[in-house]
Chains A and B, each alone.
Chain A
Amino acid sequence: MAFLRVDHTTDLSELNEDQLQALLLETAGTPIEIIPSAKMSKSKKNVVDPKDIIAAYGADTARWFVMSDSPPERDVEWTSAGAEAAFRHLGRVWTLSSRIGDMPADHQGEGDDDLRRAVARAVQDVTQGIESFAFNKAIAKLYEFTSTLSKATASTPVMKEAMRTLAQLMQPMTPHIAEEVWAYQGGVGLCAQAPWPKADPALLVEDRVTLPIQINGKRRAEISVPKDMVAAEVEKIALSDEAVVRFLAGQPVRKIIVVPGRIINVVV
């Protein structure tokens, strides 16, 4: 807050913007951004009218949009582009729900466990985000999980379960589309009354490990292997890694040292 004092006898509210600007320039010696007082109108950043957003995109878009941009203590820029992006995302969730809902019940897919693990991580991270009032983080996680789910090719029950969980995790922010998705995926009762999903701790345990590969002391590649893989197997995978093969260019390997869970050193 600051006050601008102007030696002036007429009612400032009767001046047009140019006249006011000229007067302010004369008084302050520098151009000043004119923000109408609250009596006259809302501040510039509030001109996006919630009614318009709801009419054009619906309440869920408005809600998603106001929660997604920044932590609560920060200012938000209300732009129509932001609302459109939110609406497009909800459209993607809708399409995804349609696709998963229409999958044949007996479809056997791949990567069921990977998807289950992704679900568990999403539950954990979104829960944490909401509990710590970091709604933007929760929403970032929901974007990520939606993308993971849309690429997944798991079996039908696992896909449906994942979609139901997504609906539950979205429910606090976008309750209407969440109910629709929940019902479409066979959820029982109202999503708003369903108990919050719990992350299975076993699924949160990372059972793969990423190992960097150094060739002659310089990091050249990395591989992901099961945590309990024996060293000989790890060596084989490391030496057949595309980047490693390209870098070695046929040179004989003099020595390979696997430090389990940490690093692989190759000497040529």
Chain B
Amino acid sequence: MSRYDPAVIEPKWQEAWDGAGVFLARCDPSRPKFYVLEMFPYPSGRIHMGHVRNYTMGDVVARFKAAMGHSVLHPMGWDAFGMPAENAAMERGGHPKDWTYSNIADMRAQMKPLGLSIDWSREFATCDPEYYGQQQAMFLDMLEAGLIYRKAAVVNWDPVDMTVLANEQVIDGRGWRSGAVVERRELTQWFFRISDYSAELLEALDGLTHWPEKVRLMQANWIGKSRGLQFAFDTVGAPEGFESLEVYTTRPDTLMGAGFAAISPDHPLAKALENDPGVAAFLAECRRGGTSAEDVETAEKIGFDTGIRVKHPLDPSWELPVWIANFILMDYGTGAIFGCPAHDQRDFEFATKYGLAILPVFVTEAAGEAGLTEAFVPMKSERVRYLRGFAGAELQTGEEAVSAAIAACEARGIGQGVTKYRLRDWGLSRQRYWGCPIPVVHCGACGVVPEAKANLPVRLPEDVSFDVPGNPLDRHPTWRDTPCPRCGAAARRETDTMDTFVDSSWYYARFTAPHAATPTVAEDVDYWMNVDQYIGGVEHAILHLLYSRFFARSMARTGHLPQKPSSRSTRFSRKAWSRTRFTGRTTPRGGRSITCPTISCASTSATSRWLSCASITRRTCRS
């Protein structure tokens, strides 16, 4: 044996492995299988040490399992759609496609010398028409199954990038990339009905015993189950059609501390009042700034007294003012609340600012009633003394009091107990070029018509330019023109593309039959699914995994994954983490923001994604 010279031996053995096809994954029912997956990278063009670490971890497991007699699937691909490619095209010229595929070639060339036991014959990029065409086919199946719908929705509009931003892309009311003040606009958008699965996605977390507890908790918080009372106030002086006002509260035990009622600026009642110039001006002010819970919470609380009043359900002689308040979200609960300033910090600040009544409902077990300098918000499990209770014992915990209040209200015919989730439907429309085209056609006669499967993939046109902001698909001279798949008349293609999170929500299933003419093949998913070991950054602990779990269910429902018992319906059984750290500091509000995320370890995905996850981390920590 001569001197240790890796430059000589490493290429030699890599050729030997390739030549013998050692890492080709074989569907071999006589052997147990093992599916190892690292979160596939965004093709930024450069491999960093975090990638090396993640892929080596996966490789150690893959090689070990192979030696233990398993048939191993260890694939690699590219999460290749998304804004950075368009930004590069805008800044430096060129085409997003060329930029992306050239980056992929560079990264593959950097990755191959690592000697990873990857089955490269299964490689794909999500921007390959063979991949996104199958995604379009699945979209059509999900549309038919009622898992996708269209609705007008208030969205975050970035006036510089000319695109809708996800809530997570709005940071302190500004676009995460452009820094422009985000506007609220109403647009017709496509949505996945993920909220229909809130309960199931939450309950199934209990079965994911191999997942880190922290991740399960983050997901549970994100889904945000709550039990509360939904009831209607009778209104006084409201326009016709608004004789009652539905509200939802998780703290019906504090009803006797009501100081006001408030509605979202997007509430139908607010819109009905918009011909009043004062209301109109106020609503215009509210429309500046993002729509996310995050933005709504950090924005200054402002309100407008409508002059309308509502009758307290427990005492009709007691009237409360109805305000429009910018911190009420239309798509949570009913978009209307009753405010209890003594026991909700937001309501407290609002009441203090506008001189509204602050009535303590309960105090600590020992104390008597005293003036409040801030809202008294003990844990719901803490026992407190009710001064203005109306149900249950004088001394009880918040939880007991809530249950007692719901029961008492139901008995008196005041509303009913309901369970709600914070998880909202997943808006998938993006006004962007470099994404998977949404395969529908708008026909003057037939309306919105799904593209025929025979016409898939709906390919992105290549002759586009990025010299002006906005979506090049919108201004392409011919791409939009297509016959209606139903009546054959001249019609227009949908120009929105899909959120890139869609691409990464099912790629793990596609790796089991990456070149098939259908999204998946029963025999292959039967053998290879689930992923036995999934490796990636904790920054993807919420959205990516939640969306993937939703997709696993949707794909089972549309026949693209086998129906499995619930314990197997989740597609990841174990997860290892590389940690992502965020550093920086917060100073009082105002002016421009800079974000300082530090990814000290593997972040195997798009910049946009880990920026967006950063805000999730912050939000989750708080809740």
In the complex, which of the residues B117, B576, B591 contacts A6, with contact meaning CB atoms closer than 8 Å?
A: B591
> Chain A contacts of B59 at CB under 8 A?
63, 172
Q: A3-B172, A73-B577 are in contact. Are A171 and B6 (CB under 8 A)?
A: no
> Chain B contacts of A102 at CB under 8 A?
1
Is the pair B114, A194 in contact by a Cβ cutoff of 8 Å? no
Measured between C-beta atoms, what is the minimum distance from B583 to chain A in Å? 6
In the complex, which of the residues A9, A76, A180 contacts B9, with contact meaning CB atoms closer than 8 Å?
A: A180
Is the pair A98, B600 in contact by a Cβ cutoff of 8 Å? no
Stretch at the interface among A32-40, A145-153, A220-228: A32-40
Most chain A C-beta atoms within 10 Å of own C-beta, residue among B66, B585, B599, B607? B585
B262 interface residue, CB < 8 Å from A? no
A133 interface residue, CB < 8 Å from B? yes
Is the pair A135, B60 in contact by a Cβ cutoff of 8 Å? yes
Q: A1-B614, A62-B52 are in contact. Are A195 and B586 (CB under 8 A)?
A: no
> Chain B contacts of A173 at CB under 8 A?
56, 60
Is the pair B593, A3 in contact by a Cβ cutoff of 8 Å? yes
How far apart sit A94 and B588, CA to CA, in the bound complex (Å)? 59
Measured between C-beta atoms, what is the minimum distance from B175 to chain A in Å? 13
Is the pair A49, B64 in contact by a Cβ cutoff of 8 Å? no
Is the pair A37, B596 in contact by a Cβ cutoff of 8 Å? yes
B595 interface residue, CB < 8 Å from A? yes
Which parts of A32-74 form the interface with B (CB within 8 Å)?
32-35, 37-39, 42-46, 48-51, 54, 57-63, 66-67, 72-74
Q: A3-B172, A3-B584, A72-B57 are in contact. Are A176 and B600 (CB under 8 A)?
A: no
> Chain A contacts of B60 at CB under 8 A?
67, 130, 135, 172-173
Which parts of A162-177 form the interface with B (CB within 8 Å)?
168, 171-173, 175-177
Encoded as 1 (CB less than 8 Å from any A CB) or 0, chain B from 1 to 31 comes to 1011011011001101100101000000000
**Which range contains the number of B residues in contact with the other chain?**
35 or more
Is the pair B114, A59 in contact by a Cβ cutoff of 8 Å? yes
In the complex, which of the residues A27, A32, A190 contacts B16, with contact meaning CB atoms closer than 8 Å?
A: A190
Is the pair A177, B4 in contact by a Cβ cutoff of 8 Å? yes
How far apart sit A177 and B5, CA to CA, in the bound complex (Å)? 9
Is the pair B591, A4 in contact by a Cβ cutoff of 8 Å? no
Measured between C-beta atoms, what is the minimum distance from B17 to chain A in Å? 6
Is the pair A175, B13 in contact by a Cβ cutoff of 8 Å? yes
Is the pair A172, B4 in contact by a Cβ cutoff of 8 Å? no
Measured between C-beta atoms, what is the minimum distance from A46 to chain B in Å? 5
B50 interface residue, CB < 8 Å from A? yes
Q: A4-B587, A190-B22 are in contact. Are A63 and B594 (CB under 8 A)?
A: no
A248 interface residue, CB < 8 Å from B? no
> Chain B contacts of A32 at CB under 8 A?
584-585
Measured between C-beta atoms, what is the minimum distance from B506 to chain A in Å? 25
> Chain B contacts of A51 at CB under 8 A?
47, 110
A12 interface residue, CB < 8 Å from B? yes
Is the pair A168, B67 in contact by a Cβ cutoff of 8 Å? yes
> Chain A contacts of B534 at CB under 8 A?
none
B601 interface residue, CB < 8 Å from A? yes
> Chain B contacts of A131 at CB under 8 A?
64
Is the pair B583, A67 in contact by a Cβ cutoff of 8 Å? no
Measured between C-beta atoms, what is the minimum distance from B114 to chain A in Å? 5
Most chain B C-beta atoms within 10 Å of own C-beta, residue among A6, A62, A176? A176
Is the pair A12, B594 in contact by a Cβ cutoff of 8 Å? yes
A91 interface residue, CB < 8 Å from B? yes
Is the pair B48, A192 in contact by a Cβ cutoff of 8 Å? no
In the complex, which of the residues A39, A58, A135 contacts B6, with contact meaning CB atoms closer than 8 Å?
A: A58
Measured between C-beta atoms, what is the minimum distance from B14 to chain A in Å? 8
Is the pair A38, B51 in contact by a Cβ cutoff of 8 Å? no
Encoded as 1 (CB less than 8 Å from any A CB) or 0, chain B from 374 to 387 comes to 00000000000000
Measured between C-beta atoms, what is the minimum distance from B381 to chain A in Å? 29
Measured between C-beta atoms, what is the minimum distance from B287 to chain A in Å? 22
Is the pair A37, B113 in contact by a Cβ cutoff of 8 Å? no
Is the pair B599, A195 in contact by a Cβ cutoff of 8 Å? no
Encoded as 1 (CB less than 8 Å from any B CB) or 0, chain A from 1 to 29 comes to 11111111100100000000000000110
A193 interface residue, CB < 8 Å from B? yes
Is the pair A90, B4 in contact by a Cβ cutoff of 8 Å? yes
Is the pair A6, B594 in contact by a Cβ cutoff of 8 Å? yes
How far apart sit A12 and B577, CA to CA, in the bound complex (Å)? 33
In the complex, which of the residues A49, A98, A192 contacts B66, with contact meaning CB atoms closer than 8 Å?
A: A192
> Chain A contacts of B551 at CB under 8 A?
none
Residue of A whose beta carbon sits closest to that of B621: A1
In the complex, which of the residues A1, A6, A50, A177 contacts B52, with contact meaning CB atoms closer than 8 Å?
A: A50
Is the pair B585, A4 in contact by a Cβ cutoff of 8 Å? yes
> Chain A contacts of B371 at CB under 8 A?
none
B63 interface residue, CB < 8 Å from A? yes
Is the pair B598, A66 in contact by a Cβ cutoff of 8 Å? no
Measured between C-beta atoms, what is the minimum distance from B513 to chain A in Å? 25
A212 interface residue, CB < 8 Å from B? no
How far apart sit A34 and B585, CA to CA, in the bound complex (Å)? 11
Measured between C-beta atoms, what is the minimum distance from A73 to chain B in Å? 5
Is the pair B22, A192 in contact by a Cβ cutoff of 8 Å? yes
Is the pair B1, A101 in contact by a Cβ cutoff of 8 Å? yes
Residue of B whose beta carbon sits closest to that of A32: B585
How far apart sit A12 and B110, CA to CA, in the bound complex (Å)? 33
How far apart sit A168 and B302, CA to CA, in the bound complex (Å)? 68
Residue of B whose beta carbon sits closest to that of A48: B49
23 pairs from A and B in contact (CB 8 Å cutoff): A2-B584, A3-B595, A4-B593, A12-B592, A12-B594, A33-B583, A35-B597, A38-B610, A44-B598, A50-B47, A50-B52, A60-B6, A66-B52, A75-B579, A94-B3, A102-B1, A130-B60, A130-B61, A172-B67, A176-B115, A180-B1, A194-B67, A195-B68
Which residues on B are within 8 Å of A, measured CB to CB?
1, 3-4, 6-7, 9-10, 13-14, 16-17, 20, 22, 47-53, 56-57, 59-61, 63-64, 66-69, 110, 113-115, 117, 171-172, 535, 576-579, 581-601, 607, 610-611, 614-615, 617-618
Additional pairs, 5, CB under 8 Å, beyond known A28-B585, A190-B16: A6-B592, A32-B584, A67-B53, A180-B13, A196-B68
Give the 5 A-B CB pairs with smallest separation, nearest first.
A58-B6, A1-B614, A1-B582, A7-B591, A94-B4
